Chains A and B, each alone.
Chain A
Amino acid sequence: MKNVIIGQYIPGSSFFYHIDPRTKIIAVVVLMVATFLLETIWQVLIGFGIALILIIAGRVPIRKIVKGLKPLYVLLLFTLVFQIAFNRVGTIVLDATMQISPFSILFMIAATIIWRLLASFKKFSLLLFFAYLVGLFFIMKNLAFSPLWTTWQLTIYDQGLIMSGFVIIRLLIIITLSTVLTLTTKPTELTQGLESLLRPLKAIGLNSEDFALIISISLRYIPTILDEANKIMNAQASRGADFAEGRLKDKVVQVISLLVPMFIIAFKRSEELADAMESRNFVPGKPRTRIHDLKFNYRDLITTVITVLCLAGSILVKVL
C-alpha cells in the first residue's frame, strides 16, 4: 500500500510548494487541457520535455513520480499492445510469420522461467520485460522447427508505433502533472483550494464548505484507518488468521474477522469525532475563519503566465 502516491504529500520548500493551491489546481487542469489539444508525437514530446523541465526546476523527486506510475504500468502496456496489434494505418514496419510448434512452446516456457528468475533480483524489471518480449518474438520467428502446429502473421505499421508512443506520452504528462500537484500540496491545502474554487456553486445548491470538510476529514483518517487495519490484522493473525497462508474457505471468515472490527472502530471513531467537534463549538454550515488564509503572490503570477503560454502554444499549433 506504500506505493500509492496519489494524495501523498512530501515535505519540501521548492517553488511549487509556495504556490497558492487554487493557482496550482487551475494550472494543472489547464495544462491537461493543453495536453489534449496536442496532435502529433513531436508536439507531445515537446510537452513532455516542458513537464520534465518544470519537475527538475521544482526539485520534485523524479523517483517518487516513477514509483507513483507503477500501478499504471498495466494500462500503459495495454495501450502499447493494443495500438501495435490493431492499428492498420501507414506503412508496414515489420511483417513476420510467427510459427508455433512444440519446440517453440518449450522454448517460450524456458524463456518465461529465465525471465521470472532474473526478475526476482528486482533490478531493471521493465528492461527485462522488454528483453523477454523480444526473446518470445525471436523464438516464434526462428526457432520453430517441425512439426508446425499453426502460424500467424505479426504485422506492425508505423502509425501503430507512433500512436502508441503518442498516447503513452500524453498519459505520462497528465499523470506527472497530477502527481506533482499532490506531491507538493498538502491535502488540507488542496481541499481548501477546492472549496474556494467551488464556492460559486453555492448558487445551485452545492455547499462547497461541507464538501471540503468531508474530503479533509476523510483524507485525515486514511492513515489512521490503515494503521488500525494493520493492528486488527495483527490481532487476528495472532489468533491464527494468516492472510498470507491458508485455504480459500478460511479466507472468507478471515476477511470478515478483519472487516467487522474495522467498521465498528470506524463508526465509534466518527461518533467520537463528531462529539469532539461539537464540544469545540463546531456548528455545521456556519461560516468559519482559518489559520492560513490563501494569498496570491508573485509566484502565482509566474505560474499563471507559464500556464497561459502553454495553453496558447498548444492552441496555436492546433490552429496552424
Chain B
Amino acid sequence: MGIQFKEVSFQYPGWGKQFFEALKDISLTINDKDEFIALVGETGSGKSTLAQHMNALIFPTSGTVEINGVPITAKRNKKIKYNSIRQQIGLVFQFPEYQLFEETVEKDIMFGPKNFRVPEEEAREMAKKALNMVGLSDKYLTRNPFNLSGGEKKRVSIAGILAMNPKILILDEPTSGLDPAGKKLLMNLFKSIQKETGKTIIIITHDMDLVYEYTNRVLVLNEGMLEFDGTPDYLFHRHDIDKWHLDYPATISVLRSINDKFHYNLDIYQKTIDAAVSTIAKAVQS
C-alpha cells in the first residue's frame, strides 16, 4: 500500500490554450510505513502540487495516483470516497490561517475527527492527545486560536491533522516562520511520531539542515520534474545539486571550507552540529 505515482502530469489552466505544466511525468512510490521523506526544490517547482495529489485534493491531468490501492485519475469517480482517502493521508497546509476557524482550540482540532464521524467524546480525547503531541499543554484547549502566536497557531493546525490519525502525514513547510527552538521542537516531534507509530512523514522544506539531519529519503523537484529520489547522504555527496537550485547543509559547507582553507582532510558529511563540532575538535586536538 502507500502512494504510487504512475507517469503523473498536471497542468494548471491558463489563458486559452496556454497552461502551466506544474508536474511532468512523475513516477514514484511512497510506502505507508517507516519513511521520513523530504520534498525539496525551489519555489514554483511543483512541491505543493505534488503534495496535493497525495490526498486527492487535485487530480492528475494524465497518469494515475494510486493511494492505498485506490486509483485517482483525471476524472472524478463517483464510486470513490475521496473523503476517506483524506483521512488516511493527512496534509497540513503552510499557513494555519487557512484552516483555523473555531472559537476554541479544542473545537478546531475536533473538526477533523468529527468530519470522519468520530463520536464527540472520543474526538475530544483525540484533540487533547494531539495537542499534547505538538508540545502544547491542556490549558490551550480553551484558548481562542486567533489569539495565539504564529508558532502556536502552526502547532494547533498540525494537531488538527494529527487528531485524524492519518497513516501518512504530509506537512507543507512546517517550520517556516518558526523560531529556532520551535523548529527543533517540531522536527523532534515528527521524528518521535515517526519512530513510535511507524507512520510515513513527508515534509516540504527549503531547510537543507533539517533534510540532512532528520530525513531518510529526499525527493528533488525541479521545474515539475522529479530529478532525484534517494537518501540525503547520496544527494549531498553529489557535486551538482546547485543545478536544481539546492544548497548544502551548513555542516557540510562549513567543514568543506575548513578542509579547503586549512588543508585538513576531515569527514565533511556530518549530520548534526554536534557531530561537526566534535569532528573539528578532534582535528584541532591532534
Contact with B along A224-241 (1 / 0, CB 8 A): 000010011011111111
Q: Is A250 an interface residue (CB 8 A)?
A: yes
Residues B86 and A237 in contact, CB atoms below 8 Å apart: yes
Q: Is B5 an interface residue (CB 8 A)?
A: no
Contact with A along B101-142 (1 / 0, CB 8 A): 110000000011001100000000000000000000000000
Q: Is A242 an interface residue (CB 8 A)?
A: yes
Contact of A236 among B15, B52, B55, B99 (CB under 8 A): B99
Q: Is A265 an interface residue (CB 8 A)?
A: yes
- Cα–Cα, bound, A253→B110 (Å): 12
| Interface-facing stretch out of B87-95, B184-192, B223-231 | B87-95
Residues B101 and A260 in contact, CB atoms below 8 Å apart: yes
- A residues in contact with B86, CB < 8 Å: 237-240, 242
Residues B116 and A240 in contact, CB atoms below 8 Å apart: yes
| Residue among B87, B90, B112, B115 facing the most chain A CB atoms (10 A cut-off) | B115
Residues B97 and A239 in contact, CB atoms below 8 Å apart: no
Contact of B93 among A11, A238, A245, A264 (CB under 8 A): A238
- Cα–Cα, bound, A264→B108 (Å): 15
- Cα–Cα, bound, A228→B98 (Å): 8
- B residues in contact with A49, CB < 8 Å: none
Residues A240 and B115 in contact, CB atoms below 8 Å apart: yes
Q: Is B81 an interface residue (CB 8 A)?
A: yes
Interface of B is mostly: mixed
Residues A241 and B101 in contact, CB atoms below 8 Å apart: no
- Cα–Cα, bound, A258→B83 (Å): 17
Q: Is A117 an interface residue (CB 8 A)?
A: no
- A residues in contact with B161, CB < 8 Å: 238-239
Contact of A232 among B87, B98, B111, B160 (CB under 8 A): B98
Known: A234-B52, A245-B81, A246-B83. A239 touches B101 (CB 8 A): no
- A residues in contact with B102, CB < 8 Å: 260
Q: Is A10 an interface residue (CB 8 A)?
A: yes
Q: Is A248 an interface residue (CB 8 A)?
A: no
Residues A264 and B83 in contact, CB atoms below 8 Å apart: no
CB distance from B3 to the nearest CB of A (A): 14
Residues A240 and B164 in contact, CB atoms below 8 Å apart: yes
Interface of A is mostly: helix
Q: Is B146 an interface residue (CB 8 A)?
A: yes
Q: Is A256 an interface residue (CB 8 A)?
A: yes
- Cα–Cα, bound, A237→B90 (Å): 10
- Cα–Cα, bound, A247→B98 (Å): 23
- Cα–Cα, bound, A2→B86 (Å): 26
Which chain B residue has the least Cβ–Cβ distance from A258?
B101
- B residues in contact with A159, CB < 8 Å: none
Q: How large is the interface on B (under 10, 10 to 19, 20 to 34, 35 or more residues)?
A: 20 to 34
Residues B83 and A235 in contact, CB atoms below 8 Å apart: no
Which chain A residue has the least Cβ–Cβ distance from B157?
A235
Which chain A residue has the least Cβ–Cβ distance from B118?
A240
- Cα–Cα, bound, A259→B102 (Å): 11
- Cα–Cα, bound, A250→B118 (Å): 13
| Residue among B83, B90, B99, B100 facing the most chain A CB atoms (10 A cut-off) | B99
- B residues in contact with A244, CB < 8 Å: 82
Contact of B98 among A235, A242, A253 (CB under 8 A): A235
Q: Is B57 an interface residue (CB 8 A)?
A: yes
Residues A240 and B87 in contact, CB atoms below 8 Å apart: yes
- B residues in contact with A232, CB < 8 Å: 98-99
- A residues in contact with B55, CB < 8 Å: 238
- A residues in contact with B115, CB < 8 Å: 239-242, 246, 250, 254
| Residue among B52, B90, B97, B160 facing the most chain A CB atoms (10 A cut-off) | B97
- Cα–Cα, bound, A259→B99 (Å): 10
Contact with B along A248-275 (1 / 0, CB 8 A): 0010011011011100110010000000
Residues B99 and A235 in contact, CB atoms below 8 Å apart: yes
Which chain A residue has the least Cβ–Cβ distance from B55?
A238
CB distance from B12 to the nearest CB of A (A): 11
Residues B111 and A239 in contact, CB atoms below 8 Å apart: yes
- Cα–Cα, bound, A242→B80 (Å): 13
- A residues in contact with B100, CB < 8 Å: 261
Known A-B contacts: A11-B15, A240-B112, A246-B83. Give 7 more (CB < 8 A).
Answer: A231-B93, A236-B99, A239-B160, A242-B115, A260-B102, A261-B100, A268-B97
Taking Cβ atoms with an 8 Å cutoff, the residues of A that contact B are 2, 10-11, 228, 231-232, 234-242, 244-246, 250, 253-254, 256-257, 259-261, 264-265, 268
List 27 interface pairs A-B (beta carbons < 8 Å), by A numbering. A11-B15, A228-B98, A231-B93, A235-B93, A235-B98, A235-B99, A237-B57, A237-B86, A238-B86, A238-B90, A238-B91, A238-B92, A239-B115, A239-B161, A240-B112, A240-B115, A242-B82, A242-B115, A244-B82, A246-B115, A257-B101, A259-B101, A261-B97, A261-B100, A264-B97, A265-B97, A268-B97
Taking Cβ atoms with an 8 Å cutoff, the residues of B that contact A are 13, 15, 52, 55, 57, 81-83, 86-87, 90-93, 95, 97-102, 111-112, 115-116, 146, 160-161, 164
